[in-house]
Structure 1
C-alpha cells in the first residue's frame, strides 16, 4: 500500500505540512487545492518550523478538477465547508480508495456517507499549525490524534493508518471516534468562539480565570446535548483538556481567528451551530443559549469581513 499515491485535499495549515512530512518519509504525495480553480499543476516549496528545526520540502500540487486517480488514498484537510464539493468530485471520478477526514467538528463525514463511499475514516486533530507567510508554517503537536472507522474494513483501515503515520502528526487508533469527536468539538466551541470574539490567542484560558469561567459555562451546555446524543463525557475531563491545549498552544491563534483576520469563511457551522442544531432536534434549544449566541456572533463577524473583502 505504501506505493499508493496519497492525495491531500486542502492546501492549508494542516494539508501542506502533512504533505511535507509524508513526502520526507518517501511516500508518494500530491497536494490538491480544494477549489475547482483550473490551476495548472506545479510544485510548491513548503517550509515547516518545529521548535528549532526548519525543514523545506518540494510538494507537487494540482487543483481538485485535475484529480482523476480512482485508487488513491484521499486525505481531507480542507475547511469542512468544502466537503460537499470534494465528495461530489470524488464520486464523479469513481474514487474507490479510502477517505480519511482530518477535520474537527461534528458531522464532517456526512457528505461522504451520503454519496455512498465504502471506506471512510476520520481523525480528531490535536495539532496546531499557524501560517507565518505563504507556504511557511509554525508547527506544534499537542498530542497524538485519534483516528477511527466511520465505515469500512479493519484491515484496510490499519493499512491506511500505517501509510499516514508520521513522527510529527502522530495517529492513535481508537474504537470510539464519535466520543473523541464530541470531546474535541466541545473544546473547539470554547476556543473557536471565545478566542475570536475576545481577539485573543489560545493561551487566554490558562492565563485568565474569568475566561475559564466562561469556558465552563459553554462546556456545561455542550454536555447536555452530548448526553442526549448518547455520548457520555465528564466536565472535568474536558475542562482539563481545554487548559492543557491552552498551555500547549499559548501564543498561537485559533484557526477561526486566523480565518476572520484573513477574511475567509470559518467552520462555525460544524462547531457551535452544529451543536445548536442537534439541541433543537432534541427539543433542547433553551439549554444552549450561549453556544448558539456566540456561534451566531462569530458567523456575523465572518459575514461582515467577507463583505469588506468583496467591497
Structure 2
C-alpha cells in the first residue's frame, strides 16, 4: 500500500524475485483506489536498478491495483505517516488477525496509532537506507543500495512463526543479489535513532531549500543545533535508548556527509506542494518531550516553521 518510489521498488523486487507460479501474488492497494474518482485497475511504471540483477534496466511492470482486495497475507505499508492508519482502516475484512503488517513510515506516532487499532495483528517496522527516486510520473530509479532493518513492534510479531513467515515473504529464494534485509529483535532503537536524524536534518532542508550536505554550514542550523542536540539527547534518554549530545552530533553529521547531495523527503514534499510528515518528526519529538516536562523549544520552533510553509 503506497505507490511511492519505495513501494514501487519493493513491489518490483518481490514480483521479479518470486517469478515462479508458487511465489506470492504481488499487487498494489493504493489509497486513491478507494476514491470515487479513481477508476484505474492497473498501476504501471518502469524501473532501473544497477544493484539487482533480477530487475533489468528499464523493466516495464504492471500491477493490479486492487479496488476490493481479498484476504491479505502480508501488507507492506509504504504510505506517508498520516495516510497509513486511514488506509488500513479502509481495508476492512481484507485484513484478518493473521495479516502481517510491515510499516515503512518516517518518524514516530503513526506506529503507535496502528498498534492500538490492530492489537491482534503481527506488526513489524522497517527502517531502510535503500535509495529510490521517482524521476518522472511512471519512472523509478533504484539510486542507492542500502540495508533494510525489520523487526517486531508487538507481542504478536515476536513469535518465531511470525518472523519466519515475514522473511519468507520479503526474501525471494535463489537470488545472487537481493535487497539486504536484517532482522532485529529490538527495532524500536532503530526507529528512535532514525527519528533523531530526521529531526536534525529534514526540517532544515525544507526551511533552507537545500540538500542534506548544506545544512551543517548554514547559520540557521549553527545557531539552533547546540540546543536541538540536547533536546534530542533528552528524547532518547527518556525513551531508554540513550545517546549523548556529542554521540548524536557524530551520528547526524555522518549522515549529512554520506547523503550530502540527497534531497530529503520533506523538501521533496515541499517542492511538490504536498503535505509533509513534520507532525510525526519534530512534532512528535516536541509532544513527547512536553509530556515528560522536558524542554522542546527548538523542536517546537522547527515544527511550527515547516507547518507555516505554503503546503501547510
Alignment TM-score > 0.5, same fold: yes
Partners of 1:244 and 1:211 lie apart in 2 by 19
Alpha-carbon contact 1:17-1:46 (below 8 Å) kept: no
Instruction: Provide the C-alpha distance between the structure 2 equivalents of 1:18 and 1:204, rounded to a whole number of angstroms.
Output: 30
Task: Indicate how the Cα distance of structure 1 residues 140 and 250 shifts in structure 2: closer, same or farther if over 3 A, else same.
Answer: farther
CA distance in 1, matches of 2:147, 2:196: 18
Where does residue 214 of structure 2 map in the other structure? Answer: 204
- What secondary structure is seen at the aligned counterpart in 2 of 1:239? helix
Alpha carbons of structure 1 residues 68 and 51: separation in structure 2 relative to 1, 3 Å: closer
SS in 2 for 1:81: helix
The aligned counterpart of 1:72 is 73
3-state SS, counterpart of residue 31 of structure 1: coil
Change (3 A) 1:142 1:94: closer
2:11–2:26 CA contact under 8 A, matched in 1: yes
Q: Which residue of 1 aligns with 2:306?
A: 298
Partner Cα distance (2:179, 2:199) in 1: 22
Q: Does 1:288 align with 2:296?
A: yes
TM-aligned CA deviation for residue 24 of structure 1:
1.6
Using the size of structure 2 for normalisation, the TM-score is 0.84
Tell me, in whole angstroms, the C-alpha distance in 1 between the residues paired with 2:145 and 2:204.
20
Deviation of 1:290 after TM superposition, in Å, equals 0.8
CA RMSD, 1 decimal: 2.5
1:93–1:118: structure 2 CA closer, same or farther, 3 Å change rule?
Answer: same
Task: Name 2:189's counterpart in structure 1.
Answer: 179
Q: Deviations over 1:244-280 (max 9, x none)?
A: 3223323221001000111111111110000111111
Superposition map of 1:35-46 within 5 A:
35=32, 36-37=34-35, 38-46=38-46
Corresponding residue number in structure 1 for 2:132: 129
Within 2, Cα distance between the matches of 1:234 and 1:143?
A: 26
For 1:123-202, list aligned pairs within 5 A. 123-141=126-144, 143-151=146-154, 152=156, 153-165=159-171, 167=177, 169-202=179-212
Report the counterpart of residue 4 of structure 1 in structure 2. none
Distance 1:203 1:129, change over 3 A: farther
Distance 2:11 2:26 in 1: 6
Shift, 1:49, TM fit: 4.9
Q: Which residue of 1 aligns with 2:278?
A: 268
Unpaired stretches in structure 1, ≥5 consecutive residues: 1-8, 307-311
**1-structure distance, mates of 2:268, 2:73:** 31
Deviation string 1:178-203 (CA, Å, 9 cap, x unpaired) is 11111000000112111111111122
Which structure has greater strand proportion? 1
Misfit runs of 4+, over 6 Å: none
> Contact conserved, 1:30 with 1:62, CA < 8 A, in 2?
yes
Please state if 1:22 is matched with 2:30.
no
Alignment check: 8 A CA contact 1:87 1:111 kept: no
Residues 289 and 77 (structure 1), Cα distance of their counterparts in 2 relative to 1, 3 Å cut: same
**TM-score under structure 1 length normalisation:** 0.84
